[in-house]
Structure 1
Amino acid sequence: MISHVNSQNIITTPSAKNISAIKFLGEYDIPFNLKYKNTTVGGLSGIDYDAQNKLYYMICDDRSEKNPARFYTAKIFITAKGIDSMRFTGVVNMLQPNNTVYPNNKQDAWHTPDPEAIRYNPVTKQLVWSSEGERIVKAADTLLENPSVIAITVKGKFKNNFQLPANLTMHPTEQGPRQNGVLEGMSFADNYKTLYVNTEEPLYEDGQRAGLEDVDTYIRIFKFDVESKTNTAQYAYKLEPIAYAANPANGFKINGVTDILSVGNNKLLVMERSFSTGRLPSTIKLFITTLDTATNIKDVQSLKENNNFVPVTKKLLLNMDDLGIYIDNIEGVTFGPVLPNGHKSLLFIADNNFFPFEKAQLLLFEVVE
């Protein structure tokens, strides 16, 4: 399950090819507004595990407002009963190409990041992280900042960008990505030769956002070649309806994909997060999806205008509502260590948005194969 070097000296990506269920083992809550090395811990929207060094990487979605854009490293101590404890071991600023920290929107709104996902590549010993960019369209002041996928060293130093396809370019018209609905999740696959990245919500040209009714609402999953850093394929994934009506009825509500995780054999674990105003918990649904029969829609400009495609297949693995516990804004997932019983593990992390009434949860699950 964990990355390892096989007899051909190939480092393999974690997998759970025959996953049939996951069993909840325990929760650990990171204290609100925890101070660590002159930073405020919170907004943890992505997590990944370096199995060789037993080290976790957690990206913070602070847009350099509280502290410059950063990720944390941590040790998480797991027993047969669940999560015993955790300890932060470092905090690192993601750096711009000129080796400076990223600005906040008052300093330079055109270069302020919106960090969301992070993954560690043991082949290159580098990290890859995503930023959603920005799209604010106003008559007097329009701000367009393209999303990005960036490779950095474990010390935060910029290495290079992945080349994003044209349909991920921000526009002042209703074309391309929606604000705050862009590159939310990512996962390495194929022994770190492939990187999958997904939009959280549909592109404008692909259709409407998720609503309370079951309609054809598709996001895109983008496949990148890690060596060339180019987009080689795109796949359509149909979203579920929003789980609960908002209160008031015209309040904010959303359903989108917050993270993905390769489980091997062209299969992805896909996490949908639904939230509605008036209800504090989030509804988190986990699906196993298969890409084998899906159409490569890389050259399809609009899924609204061209419905001649096959989306990825999906099967519900778990609705966390069924656990009977409070579930917050879960945004990241990673394979963890092998459990004492020899089974694989999954760790989920919640982004508390730096709000005191939300939790920065860690949830541990056992993989049943």
Structure 2
Amino acid sequence: MKYKWLFLVAVAGVFASCSTSRKAAVTKDHSISQLRFIGKQVIPYNMPFEGTTTGGLSGIDYNPARNEYYMICDDRSDINPARFYTAKLYFNGQSFDSVRMTAVTTLRQANGQPYPNKHQDPARTPDPEALRFNTKYGFMVWSSEGERIVNKKDTILANPSLTIIHPDGKYIDTFAIPAAYHMQATPNGPRRNAGFEGLAFSQDNQWMYVSLEEPRYEDGPRADVNTTDAITRILKFDMKTRKPVAQYAYSLDPVASPAASPDSFRINGIADIMYLGTDKLLVLERSFTAGVPGCVIKLYVTDLRGATDVSDIASLQKNKNYTLASKKLLYNFESLHSYIDNIEGVTFGPILPNGHPSLVLVADNNFSSEEESQFFVFEVIP
């Protein structure tokens, strides 16, 4: 490990001096002028917890009423059944002391059973990526990117999904997914591993925003080092009808680091989003190039006001008669001058002692010994 980690199983009261107020960080429309880094923690590789292997932490959300965090795991039921973890984080305005896992919850299908892995039923195997707790309704929503395997041997298609569950993991319902986001055997719809990656609820819980990690086939090329026209989409759902009401075009940055060869894997896409208020979102872009250590992580403030509703535009590449959502760089993790792994989750945390909100991010280690399950804490400066 490149950084010292601290994982404590002592009772929370031991760390009372490091706790923060349980008041939610976002109680109204929010402006962010800058972020101040507070600290970082790394939990051990393949850390065992309640019969599971901890890793693959792809999304994070905060419940202020219980002062706890929920982190979805992107294990496709290969190591353990698809699940999310509950944790306590201990920090204040000066230091970030520890992470303590407190529970693990299995995600359940409509029949009450855990989700199968690819050997049991590949068409029903999920790819969990994001999880949000809804304070108004008391339920959670999690996203799956689905599956798209098309080769001479087999064709496996599983649509991206948005599933509503009880906090105990039991299935409630799903959101209506537009046909344009169904997986296809032809080069149409979402690309593999590039589907619903980010979720955010509006503060009044009237709307849910969902981000597509990379462009649909019809919308043009994936991001690359010299590509400036990689356009993905952000969807807006009505929480009452659970149907989409608008879509917005979002321009991705080019891939940050050049590849060693044309065949080397590289990516830049939206890894997560957070609601800021008045149709503004915090957007987390994550760039990775095979052979280059770590990732380039950037946070943008995106304004959907003035952006065209592109719901009726089948191809953002062929029909360019639209206005993109605006974006303004808020924070580049390169400013930390340290190893930054695959950050995929972001949430507002508690209010700090000085009255400012906190921002918490988590990195997915992909269950690799060469990567880290990192946690970052920042102070939000209005």
TM bracket (short chain): over 0.9
1:292 and 2:312 matched: no
The residue number in structure 2 matching 1:168 is: 181
The residue number in structure 2 matching 1:31 is: 44
Q: Do the aligned residues in 2 keep the contact of 1:146 with 1:170 (CA within 8 Å)?
A: yes
The residue number in structure 1 matching 2:373 is: 360
Q: Do the aligned residues in 1 keep the contact of 2:93 with 2:379 (CA within 8 Å)?
A: no
The equivalent position to 1:304 in structure 2, one of 287, 311, 317, is 317
Percent of aligned pairs with the same residue?
48
| 1:44-87 Cα deviation digits (max 9, x unpaired) | 00000001110100000000000000001111111222211121
The equivalent position to 1:71 in structure 2, one of 84, 88, 95, is 84
* Count of aligned residue pairs for this structure pair: 362
What is the alpha-carbon root mean square deviation over aligned residues? Answer: 1.4
1:96 and 2:116 matched: no
Q: TM-score, normalised by structure 2?
A: 0.92
The residue number in structure 2 matching 1:115 is: 128
| 1:16-68 Cα deviation digits (max 9, x unpaired) | 62211111110010111110000000000000000111010000000000000
Distance in 2 of aligned mates of 1:3 and 1:181: 35
1:148 and 2:184 matched: no
Distance in 2 of aligned mates of 1:270 and 1:235: 13
The residue number in structure 2 matching 1:8 is: none
One-letter amino acid of the counterpart of residue 295, structure 1: T
With 240-249 and 112-121 compared, the bigger mean Cα shift is at 240-249
Distance in 1 of aligned mates of 2:209 and 2:255: 24
Q: Which runs of 5+ in 2 are unaligned?
A: 1-20
SS of the residue corresponding to residue 167 of structure 1 reads helix
| 1:102-157 Cα deviation digits (max 9, x unpaired) | 00000000100000000000111111000000001112311100010000000000
SS of the residue corresponding to residue 122 of structure 2 reads helix
Classify 1:190/1:51 alpha carbon distance in 2 versus 1 (closer, same or farther; 3 Å): closer
Aligned positions of 1:221-300 closer than 5 A:
221-300=234-313
SS of the residue corresponding to residue 151 of structure 1 reads strand
Q: Do the aligned residues in 1 keep the contact of 2:159 with 2:183 (CA within 8 Å)?
A: yes
Shift of 1:3: 7.2
Q: Do the aligned residues in 2 keep the contact of 1:2 with 1:14 (CA within 8 Å)?
A: no
| 1:171-201 Cα deviation digits (max 9, x unpaired) | 0001000000000111001411110001100
Distance in 2 of aligned mates of 1:199 and 1:15: 26
SS of the residue corresponding to residue 178 of structure 1 reads coil
SS of the residue corresponding to residue 205 of structure 1 reads helix
The residue number in structure 1 matching 2:218 is: 205
Q: Which runs of 5+ in 1 are unaligned?
A: 5-11
Distance in 1 of aligned mates of 2:74 and 2:301: 26
Classify 1:192/1:13 alpha carbon distance in 2 versus 1 (closer, same or farther; 3 Å): farther
Q: Do the aligned residues in 1 keep the contact of 2:279 with 2:305 (CA within 8 Å)?
A: yes
Classify 1:340/1:162 alpha carbon distance in 2 versus 1 (closer, same or farther; 3 Å): same
